Amino acid sequence: MSGPLTPSQTVGPFFGVGLPFEKGEQLAPPGSAGVMRIEGQVLDGKGEPVPDALLEIWQPGTGFGRARTDSEGAFSFTTVKPGAVPAPDGRVQAPHFNVTVFARGLLRHLVTRMYFPDETEANAADPVLNLVEPARRETLIAKHCDGVLHFDVRLQGERETVFFAI
Amino acid sequence: MSELEPPYLYPDYVGTRLRAPAKPLINLPEGFNDFPAPLFPRTVADLDHDLTRQHAGEPIGERIIVTGRVLDSDGRPLRKTIVEVWQANAAGRYLDQDDQHPAPLDPNFTGAGRCLTDAEGRYRFITIKPGAYPWKNHRNAWRPAHIHFSLFGSEFRSRLVTQMYFPGDPLMPRDPILQSIPDQAGRDRLVSQFDPETTVPEWALAYRWDIVLRGRAATPFEDEQ
Ligand SMILES: [Fe+2]
């Protein structure tokens, strides 16, 4: 049964004064060895950019990043790739980031995962990707694109990103 | 638990209509969400909790103290956990270029603060009471006065972004963001209480608001590991 948990409310459109911080999008400094850039867009159910979203990426051992979207709904992070992670049931999870999405219009945050495109074998064996119907798995795997990793978050509609209950 | 949380789609809050996922969220097996909260990289300075002392002069408005405890789902205090807040000024205007409300900005008020909870899980902010502000959700829509809060807690699933309201605000029953929480008991958990004991004579009214996060705080024993 529920404890007296405090309910969630939307981050609203005006979190810019409080939440983003300098270099929040840098889990690792850009330009150094092994550092990759992740770029993407947050899109709504009509495919329109979401300019008032905030993303956090987190993987124990790799670090935490926070970035807001711009007027085109675009965000970016720089980071090193995380390693494989043991799963609670003894299996191995493919390298991934936990991605948390806040936005005006989201009364609760959303949680998804970003996996890596060069991990075909590990992704095929990943216990979480295997919970997802095959046609939707690609929404969780970033794409190589001009030297960066591209990862869009589609909140609703066609090719809607897979989100996980927490 | 879920009837106390707002749904993703709440059509009266127009912003949810194109942003709420249409497909069901996928449940992960037991344990897959059990990992520690992010290590928040931002530091907290001594005066970051005092939103009235970030500029040369004092902001206009009713000075208030906002305090309370951050607890885990077993009622144990979360110590040294980060609490971030942001809010409108006394006129109901945010320091944000997208805020179009024709109310004055206050050169002495930014409207953002943060602090760490103490050994009892207590946080404390000094600020001014935010004003109500209009929004374009429906005709003559006004948000009740509120302060936005962001917390991490101890586990990944403890993460919470929410809003604190003020007791007796007549705008609350008309606010689709607050009313999106299905149960009155859940909505009541977002309303602070006037706190005469913490109110400082000749200086500031106090409001108390406790926050309960999912997950478990580390025990002192675990802290030492
Ligand atoms: Fe607000």
Question: What is the token pair recorded at B94?
Answer: 């945010």
Q: Tally DSSP H helices, then E strands, for chain B.
A: 3, 11
Q: A88-126 pLDDT, tens per residue?
A: 999 999 999 999 999 999 999 999 999 999 999 999 999
On the question of pLDDT at A144 being above 70, the answer is yes
Positions in chain B short of pLDDT 50:
1, 223-225
Ligand 1 center to residue B144 CA distance, Å? 9
Domain locations in chain A as residue ranges: 22-154
Give the whole-angstrom CA distance, residue A149 versus residue B216: 35
**Of B72, B85, B84, B81, residue with least CA distance to B117:** B81
- Position A151 scores a pLDDT of 98
Of B7, B25, B162, nearest to A163 by CB-CB distance is: B25
- Position A3 scores a pLDDT of 60
On the question of pLDDT at A147 being above 80, the answer is yes
Is domain A22-154 in CATH 2.60.130.10, yes or no?
yes
- Residues of chain B positioned with their CB less than 8 A from the CB of A20: none
pLDDT-wise least confident of A3-7, A134-138, B67-71: A3-7
Ligand 1 center to residue B40 CA distance, Å? 23
The reply to whether A55 touches chain B by the CB within 8 Å rule is no
Give the whole-angstrom CA distance, residue B11 versus residue B18: 10
pTM: 0.96
Count CB pairs under 8 A between chains A and B: 192
Give the whole-angstrom CA distance, residue B17 versus residue B83: 30
- Return the residue of B nearest to A4 by Cα: B212
Question: Quick one: three-class SS letters along B125-157?
Answer: EEEECCCCEEECCCCCEEECCEEEEEECCCEHH
Phi-psi region of A90 (alpha: psi -120 to 50; beta: other; left: phi over 0): left
Q: Percent of chain A having pLDDT more than 90? A: 90
